[in-house]
């Protein structure tokens, strides 16, 4: 299937290195688009729950696909979030067409869009980070339980479901701006931006938040744990795109990623050929 040509794609909250990450779906989306700019809007790698014992092949394939996009000339901006805050030390670092930033302003067709992760407007993160980490741990435990239930039900042909999605259902449909959204919109208006895109909450939204005399378009690009959404810019307008996973997986042009044993065997062969052993 031919990739959709886009000017910009903004995605966030992959949470790589956790069991909640839906890497296969992320990979399918990345393969389905051909953007000029890819914005990774925070919490792409989850350092809060990162484990050297858990980074499965599907998640490595996501990383490899992003590298492939860079090789093809796609400009990739990695905006830091709270779960990958260790990267904030590398703000403004550029490696080829990859740039790490804390925020990003895009000038598109004469209109400026402000993009950032959004955790700076979350009071829990700053005033009680320990509470946020407990919440993240509980959320992680729930995803493990959910994964186990789906494994048990798979032989019976039961469609995979997300147990923890129901906890946010009410908030997803609430059209009234939250205090969080109002704070972001107010700051955006004060800085002269009429469109702002963030992530962090895992709740995809596209709404107008009225500030005194100024309408601010608030877009939350959602997440890739529950909703599989992206903010996409093409032909002069932003749209919130809901990706539908067809279930089909195209791996024809995708070499397999070797496991640890294969990597070490290959390394030993290389060293032996170089007379290092």
| Exposure letters 215-227 (e unless 16+ CB within 10 A, then b) | ebbbbbbbbbbbb
Two structure tokens written together for 156:
């019976």
Quick one: which of 34, 42, 104, 36 has its CA closest to 65?
34
Pairing outcome for strands 33-41 and 75-79: parallel
Q: Which DSSP state fits 168?
A: G
Domain range for 236: 4-273
CA 172 to chain centre: 18
Mean pLDDT for the chain overall: 84
Tell me the CA distances in angstroms from 18 to 28, 73, 103, 211, 224, one per residue in order. 18, 29, 25, 38, 12
Rg (CA), the chain: 20
Q: What is the pLDDT of residues 95-129, one digit of tens each?
A: 999 999 999 999 999 999 999 999 998 754 555 45
Q: Which ranges in 11-127 belong to alpha helices (H)?
A: 23-32, 57-71, 123-127
Two structure tokens written together for 276:
């290092």
For 261, the 3-state DSSP assignment is: helix
For 92, the 3-state DSSP assignment is: coil
Residue 37 belongs to a domain with what CATH number?
3.60.21.10
Q: What is the pLDDT of residues 195-228, one digit of tens each?
A: 999 999 999 999 999 998 899 999 999 999 989 9
| CA–CA dist 164, 166 (Å, integer) | 5
Per-residue pLDDT 10s for the chain (277 aa) are 789 999 999 999 999 998 889 999 999 999 999 999 999 999 999 987 666 667 899 999 999 999 999 999 999 999 999 989 999 999 999 999 999 999 999 999 999 999 999 999 875 455 545 455 555 556 666 666 766 666 677 677 766 666 555 445 444 555 677 889 999 999 999 999 999 999 999 999 999 999 988 999 999 999 999 899 999 999 999 999 999 987 666 655 666 776 656 766 676 677 776 665 5
Q: Are 161 and 150 in contact (CB under 8 A)?
A: yes
Q: What is the pLDDT of residue 170?
A: 47
pTM over 0.95: no
Task: Indicate the number of domains in the chain.
Answer: 1
Quick one: which of 156, 160, 158, 136 has its CA closest to 146?
160
């Amino acid at each position: 299937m031919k990739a959709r040509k886009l000017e910009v794609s903004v995605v966030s909250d992959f949470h790589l290195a956790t069991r909640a990450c839906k890497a296969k779906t992320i990979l399918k989306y990345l393969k389905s688009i051909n953007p000029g700019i890819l914005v990774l809007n925070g919490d792409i790698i989850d350092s809060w729950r990162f484990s050297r014992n858990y980074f499965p092949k599907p998640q490595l394939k996501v990383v490899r696909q992003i590298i492939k996009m860079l090789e093809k000339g796609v400009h990739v901006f990695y905006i830091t979030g709270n779960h990958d805050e260790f990267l904030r030390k590398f703000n403004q670092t550029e490696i080829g067409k990859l740039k790490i930033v804390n925020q990003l302003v895009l000038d598109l067709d004469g209109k400026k869009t402000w993009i950032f992760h959004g955790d700076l407007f979350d009071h829990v993160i700053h005033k009680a980070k320990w509470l946020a980490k407990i919440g993240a741990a509980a959320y992680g435990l729930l995803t493990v339980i959910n994964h186990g239930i789906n494994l048990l039900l798979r032989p019976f042909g039961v469609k995979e479901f997300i147990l923890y999605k129901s906890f946010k259902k009410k908030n997803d449909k609430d059209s009234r701006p939250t205090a969080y959204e109002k704070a972001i919109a107010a700051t955006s208006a004060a800085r002269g931006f009429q469109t702002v895109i963030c992530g962090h909450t895992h709740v995809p939204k596209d709404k107008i938040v009225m500030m005194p005399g100024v309408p601010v378009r608030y877009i939350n690009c959602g997440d890739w744990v529950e909703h599989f959404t992206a903010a996409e810019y093409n032909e002069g307008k932003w749209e919130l795109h809901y990706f539908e996973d067809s279930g089909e997986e195209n791996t024809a042009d995708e070499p397999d990623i070797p496991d640890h044993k294969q990597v070490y065997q290959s390394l030993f062969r290389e060293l032996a050929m170089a007379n290092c052993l």
